């Protein structure tokens, strides 16, 4: 009888152990994983991010001849293109006058012995126009005419960012896809479900099957990373919001992150548009 009791105890212990393994998220980590160790280093408060510029969605008038931080317009796109042509701005042309664009303006102003204030006024505008080879002598800072498709594209990109921003602060829950909690790929699924775009459930499937690859991300695109944990293919992604920032579901929940930090750049594999 003693031997029989010992066997029974071993059986109960083994059953409990197997059951605990079956319910442990790490067993299915290749499907719904977190962002990986070190990911939270790039997290920044939403109030200090590029979100206020994106969600404001009001194009600043240039009638007073000033273009400055916080402006969101095609005029800013033209400015970024001018600065890029002259080697001062090396990032994405997104029409958002954020800290990267402001720094490029400041560097240009310093080199031209202009007042270094990061604001494009008449003097800075005139200097840019003079050095713009092949121009008509004026910096073309005017609003572009947008056709219906461009307007619709801009609307859906804004909707994507708005959906992502609406769940900032939601806790990380393995396998979650709702506002009660979501994992990293569940967050992407939630956002695109809000704008009626169907996508695959996992990062690796999205990277292979959904949308189109783009050379550089624009607002509303999805940026992808690999190797954030032990799995093949894409293992994490986030919604791009401009100026090197994204919204993603990291280890501490949905947050805004600077993905220009070394951790993200070491794992970055590219971007895709799910709206084309």
Q: What is the mean pLDDT of residues 84-112?
A: 89
Q: What pLDDT sits at residue 34?
A: 56
Alpha carbon 7 to its chain centroid, in Å, reads 56
Separation of alpha carbons 233 and 204, rounded Å:
5
Mark out the alpha helices in the chain (DSSP H runs). Answer: 2-22, 51-56, 74-85, 99-111, 122-131, 148-166, 184-194, 203-209, 262-267
**27 — phi, psi (to 5°)?**
-65, -30
The percent of the chain in helix, strand and coil, each rounded to the nearest 5, is 40, 15, 40
- Is the distance from CB of 224 to CB of 216 less than 8 angstroms? no
Parallel, antiparallel or unpaired: strands 268-273 and 212-214: antiparallel
As given in the structure block, the two tokens for residue 163 are: 């959906």
pLDDT tens, position by position, 232-271: 899 999 999 998 899 999 989 999 999 899 999 999 999 9
Neighbouring-strand partners of residue 249: 254
CATH code: domain 60-131 is: 1.10.101.10
Q: What is the pLDDT of residue 265?
A: 94
Q: How many CA atoms lie within 13 A of 147 on its CB side?
A: 1
**Gap between the Cα atoms of 58 and 51, Å rounded:** 13
- Length of the chain, in residues: 276
The domain ranges of the chain are 28-53+147-273, 60-131
DSSP character for 40?
G
Structure tokens at 252: 């501490």
Who has greater pLDDT, 89 or 18? 89
If we measure between CA atoms, which residue out of 105, 95, 132, 124 comes closest to residue 241?
95
Per-residue pLDDT tens over the stretch 102-152: 899 999 999 999 888 888 888 888 888 744 433 444 455 444 444 545 445
| Residues facing residue 222 across a β-bridge | 239, 272
Whether the full predicted model's pTM is greater than 0.75, yes or no, is no
Question: Thinking of the domain 28-53+147-273, which architecture would CATH place it in?
Answer: Alpha-Beta Complex (3.90)
Q: What are phi and psi of 28, to 5 degrees?
A: -115, 25
Counting runs of H as helices and runs of E as strands, what totals does the chain give? Answer: 9, 9
Give per-residue burial for 228-242: e unless 16+ CB within 10 Å, then b.
bbebebbbbbbbbbb
């Amino acid at each position: 009888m003693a031997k029989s009791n010992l066997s029974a105890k071993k059986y109960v212990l083994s059953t409990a152990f197997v059951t605990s393994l079956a319910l442990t998220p790490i067993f299915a980590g290749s499907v719904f994983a977190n962002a990986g160790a070190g990911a939270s280093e790039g997290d920044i408060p939403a109030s200090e991010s590029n979100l206020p510029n994106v969600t404001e969605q009001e194009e600043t008038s240039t009638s007073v001849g000033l273009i400055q931080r916080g402006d969101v317009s095609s005029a800013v796109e033209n400015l970024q293109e001018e600065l890029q042509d002259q080697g001062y701005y090396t990032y994405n042309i997104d029409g958002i006058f954020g800290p990267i664009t402001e720094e490029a303006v400041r560097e240009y102003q310093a080199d031209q012995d202009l007042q270094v204030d990061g604001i494009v006024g008449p003097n800075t505008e005139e200097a840019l126009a003079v050095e713009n080879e092949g121009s008509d002598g004026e910096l073309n800072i005017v609003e572009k005419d947008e056709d219906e498709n461009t307007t619709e594209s801009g609307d859906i990109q804004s909707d994507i960012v708005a959906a992502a921003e609406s769940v900032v602060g939601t806790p990380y829950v393995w396998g979650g896809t709702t506002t009660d909690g979501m994992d990293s790929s569940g967050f992407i699924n939630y956002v695109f479900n809000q704008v009626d775009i169907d996508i695959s459930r996992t990062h690796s499937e999205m990277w292979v099957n959904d949308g189109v690859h783009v050379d550089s991300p624009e607002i509303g695109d999805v940026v992808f990373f690999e190797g954030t944990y032990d799995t093949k293919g894409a293992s994490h992604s986030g919604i791009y919001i401009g100026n090197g920032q994204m919204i993603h579901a990291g280890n501490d929940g949905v947050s805004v992150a600077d993905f220009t930090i070394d951790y993200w750049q070491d794992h970055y594999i590219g971007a895709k548009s799910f709206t084309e």
